[in-house]
Amino acid sequence: MNSPNPRTTSITVVGSGSWGTAIGAWLARNGHDVRIWDIDTSVIDDINATHCNNRYLPDCKLPENLVGYRALESAMTDCSTVVLAVPSRVFETALLNVTSHLDRMDSSNTPTIVWGTKGFAQKTGELLSHVAERVLGDTAVTAAISGPSFAYEVVRGIPAGFDLASKSSERIESIADLFRSENILVYTTSDIIGVQVGGATKNVIAIAAGISDGLGFGINARALLITRGLAEMNRLNVALGGSAETMMGLSGLGDLVLTCSGDLSRNRRLGLGLGQGKPIDEIVEEIGQEVEGIQSTRETYQIGKKMDVFMPMTECMYRILYEGLSPLQAATELMAIGPSLK
């Protein structure tokens, strides 16, 4: 379905996990020269030797123009765009690493920084755009891309859609064009807050939906959680300065529905295990990859408390993950809130 992008360029992807590899393959299929780098050189070597990422995306053949690099400086040579696809807990560390090499580049050709990371900054709870502005300065051209997407499908070129947000009105469409193809839709918006809040908070609701399914509550209860969860997400979004309209798009509602219902969702799988009475450490070990929602729940809860936003579902998920509240007791408490849950 893909045809090469007539405006091909060199792009560096930071992070060779499942999502970084999927983004790299996606951009490579668009005809770009894609260099992928990771601190774990064993994955990089595997990508170069087999054109597969056998650790995170086995049996997925990668394009030949997706090449692994052991040194970030080499990967960034003459690149026009850097895409970060790392867990939110290491986002700032990765960005600082990138910045150390930006300082050695020609200032007239400073690359655009895009991130596909979903979540808030660890400890500080900042939006990742605030971290980027603090690290890079307010003149850097940056963008966030987010939407309903499982790496397993994106790496195979299966159709998907995304929101891409940037404050740069002059560059936003050219950035989006890097990602657009015949089977990938990319919508643009200046609401970088709303796009990020949707991607971070939907993880919390996905854990709740998984718990509900694990308890055997059925599809009706899942629909209830998704609907009320969306309202909860949007309250925080608006409090942080995001647009309510953005939350109804791909990076909000779209990502929420996918993550709450798709069996490939790590956050939903975590919730399923918790609902079935399994210890959290055992579930995470079974999943075998980072479960972003564990950190997102803590950060979302703390931000909501600080801003005095009514977020009962998030509070219950926090208490389950960090204070030992039983899933069944959490369900009882949420149902007792009644109409005020709106």
pLDDT 10s digits, 196-212: 999 999 999 999 999 99
Nearest-angstrom CA–CA distance, 201 and 123: 16
Residues 52-81 pLDDT 10s: 999 999 999 999 999 999 999 999 999 999
Instruction: Give strand ranges (E) for 96-159.
Output: 112-115, 142-146
End-to-end CA distance of the chain: 43
**pLDDT of amino acid 13:** 99
Residues 323-337 pLDDT 10s: 999 999 999 999 998
**pLDDT of amino acid 108:** 63
167 in a known ligand binding site: no
Amino acid at 194: G
**pLDDT of amino acid 342:** 52
Examine the residue annotation and report whether 61 is marked as an active-site residue of this protein: no
Residues 111-156 pLDDT 10s: 999 999 999 998 899 999 999 999 999 889 999 999 999 999 999 9
Q: Would you state the structure tokens that stand for residue 318, as one six-digit string? A: 């926090």
**pLDDT of amino acid 103:** 74
- What does pTM read for this prediction? 0.93
**pLDDT of amino acid 3:** 46
35 or 6: which leads in pLDDT: 35
267 in a known ligand binding site: yes
19 in a known ligand binding site: yes
17 in a known ligand binding site: yes
26 in a known ligand binding site: no
Closest by Cα among 284, 289, 291, 313 to 301: 313
Per annotation, catalytic residue among 61, 123, 167, 202: 202
Residue 251 is given by DSSP the state I
Q: How far is CA 26 from the centre of its chain?
A: 16
